[in-house]
Chains A and B, each alone.
Chain A
Amino acid sequence: MPIYAPSLPPRPALDEGLPPALVIARFDIRRVLKQRVGRFFGFMFVGSLLVQLATLYIRHLLKTQAAFGGVRDFANQVFTQGPEFHAGILTMGGWLTTLLWFQVALVGGGLVARDSLYRIRPLMYAHPVRPLDYLLGKGLFAAGLPFVILLPFVVLPWGMSMLIAGNNGPISPWAPLYLLPSALIISLLMGAVTLGASSLASSPRAGFGWVLGISLGTSALGGLLMGLLHESAWMAISPQALVRAWPALLCRVSEPPLDWIPTLIGTAFHLVLWTYLAARRTRPSEAVL
């Protein structure tokens, strides 16, 4: 095999090229797109979205077609309209958020853990990459993934409702104003938990376990404390409960699963804790050559 001196292009200036955080996030996106797990969840989410759109269209038919009068009365009893319906768009009765937790655990559990396992971080830090760039890149992916998945669940049903019935459709014209911030907070929460859990793990599989462990473990603990102390606010220690609470609060559901104060405190706690842990675990001093 011949070896000869390379004629490399000149070294780029410091401000040239893409920001390192974007390079890292894009690399992870490409990796996930090639994984079968990404395709499986893609199929599941698209299926769920189609079911939601179909449900919405049937509701519209029930409301507008006189022939469906009897069915409509029954449907009105089963499906409540208003804030509950709007909040349910993002949770689908818990199905969507549960599926999303599995998705972020499977995909995001390895985000930092993979780099720890294969000792890639020191090599990255030996480039002009700051720990903050690394954390931002991973965080962008961890929070961006659930947000990108949730986005069509907000935009498409709303668009369809506006198209078929305008302002009188089953979804309020103002619904995105409540649902998009909810989706953003849910995504940030899931991203932070994923990032922190993955940074604690030593392999992607362990990362998956950590994310699910935190998600399910805190729910169990919250349920236990709530039962013992007869105070529902304890459920705010569970990211799962917080994810369900935000759409309900922002859509002004009459009886949200959690009140504003525990939800705000719980969310801030989880965001700070897991981001802090991830920042500590991805410091250059933790990156052993």
Chain B
Amino acid sequence: MTATVSLERASLRYGDILGLSPTTFELPAGGGITGLLGPNGAGKSTLIQLLSGLLPPSGGDVKVFGEAPFRNPAVLARIGLVPEGDRFPVGLRGHAWLRMMGELSGLTGARLDQAMASALAAVGMEVNGKKLFSEMSKGMRQRMRLSQALLHDPDLLILDEPFNGMDPESRLQLMDLLRQQAASGRRILVSSHILGEVAQLTDRILLLFRGRLLAEGSVAEIRELLDRHPVELRIGAESAQAVARWAVEHDELVALRMEEAGAVLAVRNPRSFLPKLQAAVLSGELPLRSLDPIDLNLDAVFQFLTKDHA
């Protein structure tokens, strides 16, 4: 069975700048969600541009449904793209814009009306879809973007940072919707720079950093990889010595730095270390006043992984 997406040493250059290093991976045929994870500037949008046929690869092969997507209407007709940020002219009503997008996909007449009604209903915008874009909330505009991608019943749905600016409730609703779409046989690629978001949605992740595919695998595998990254925790306590005494007894400790109002611990595998810390605080063994993770962010993790893989 032909893979939905397959890249074979595909790369992209913007002049002298390498946007995407030679990258090889496959997304299998059939429904499912794949997370595209990476910090800002990692090459996520570049990869999405290659997949959605906006740019040809500078080297290697990009295949979507077995064909090169660049300027290929047969492939583009099967892709739904939800780009990041607003894409609407001011002073325009949602349904007018949606109608044009539907017509660009070849829908007309009653089929277009039916597709618009279904797509708007799918994202819960049956009523608000007729509003001016300037009157819509950020979450509503995001739903409109998604509805245009669903209009022509695509087999591959590509979403670029879809959760940006959404409130928690809208976020959960969107996740539900994406799960339903995947269950109905659509392949979905969701880009994000927040691991937690993607982890809630999918078990398959592509990890990008500085234009190259760093890791590919399940969330558990990626988490295991991330656990090797020493995380710095600043622990505020009445006695820094007490913190140090407690910390050195644990295998996860990599480095220790004393400060005036506590200590900075560098620990591996925070998922096993933090419950121990919690238990020590609850039992009164550790006189903790504050806990501040210093570099528990994706950028730091990526930098660690990059060094690790150099």
Contact = CB atoms under 8 A, between A and B. Distances in A.
A54 B153 CA distance: 57
Interface stretch (A122-130, A152-160, A183-191, A206-214): A122-130
A17 B103 contact: yes
Interface string A189-210: 0000000000000000000000
Contacts of A285: 54-55
A9 B83 contact: no
A128 B119 contact: no
A27 B89 CA distance: 12
A128 B105 contact: yes
A27 B48 CA distance: 27
B104 A12 contact: no
A4 B119 CA distance: 10
B204 to A, nearest CB: 21
A284 B55 contact: yes
A115 B91 CA distance: 14
A6 B121 contact: yes
Interface in B101-134: 101, 103-108, 111, 114-115, 118-119, 121-124
Interface string B19-58: 0000000000000000000000000010011001111000
A7 B118 contact: yes
Contact of A3 (B53, B54, B77, B176): B176
Interface string B66-105: 0000110110111101011111110110001000110111
Contacts of A2: 124
Binding site of A, secondary structure by majority: helix, strand, loop or mixed? Answer: loop
Contact of B45 (A27, A115, A289): A289
A30 B184 CA distance: 36
Interface residues of B, number: 56
Interface string A124-157: 1111111100000000000000000000000000
Given A6-B119, A125-B54, A128-B104, A11 B153 contact: yes
A23 interface: yes
B180 A5 contact: yes
B287 interface: no
Contact of B49 (A5, A130, A289): A289
B173 interface: yes
A264 interface: no
Given A5-B122, A9-B114, A27-B100, A125 B153 contact: no
Interface string B123-166: 11000000000000000000000001011111000001000000
Given A18-B103, A124-B104, A289-B160, A8 B123 contact: no
Contacts of A15: 106
Nearest to A133: B104
B246 to A, nearest CB: 48
A119 interface: yes
B74 A14 contact: yes
A240 B229 CA distance: 67
Contacts of B104: 20, 23-24, 124, 127-129
Given A119-B85, A128-B76, A130-B71, A11 B154 contact: yes
A70 interface: no
B4 interface: no
Nearest to B123: A3
A16 interface: yes
A122 B88 CA distance: 12
Given A127-B76, A128-B73, A128-B76, A12 B105 contact: yes
Nearest to A13: B106
A9 B115 contact: yes
B188 to A, nearest CB: 13
A39 interface: no
A272 B79 CA distance: 35
Given A4-B122, A123-B83, 6 more contacts: A122-B49, A127-B104, A130-B71, A285-B54, A285-B55, A289-B54
Interface of B: 45, 48-49, 52-55, 70-71, 73-74, 76-79, 81, 83-89, 91-92, 96, 100-101, 103-108, 111, 114-115, 118-119, 121-124, 148, 150-154, 160, 173, 176-177, 180-181, 184
18 contacts: A1-B124, A3-B123, A5-B181, A8-B115, A8-B122, A9-B111, A11-B78, A12-B106, A12-B152, A15-B106, A24-B100, A24-B104, A119-B87, A122-B49, A122-B81, A123-B87, A125-B53, A126-B81
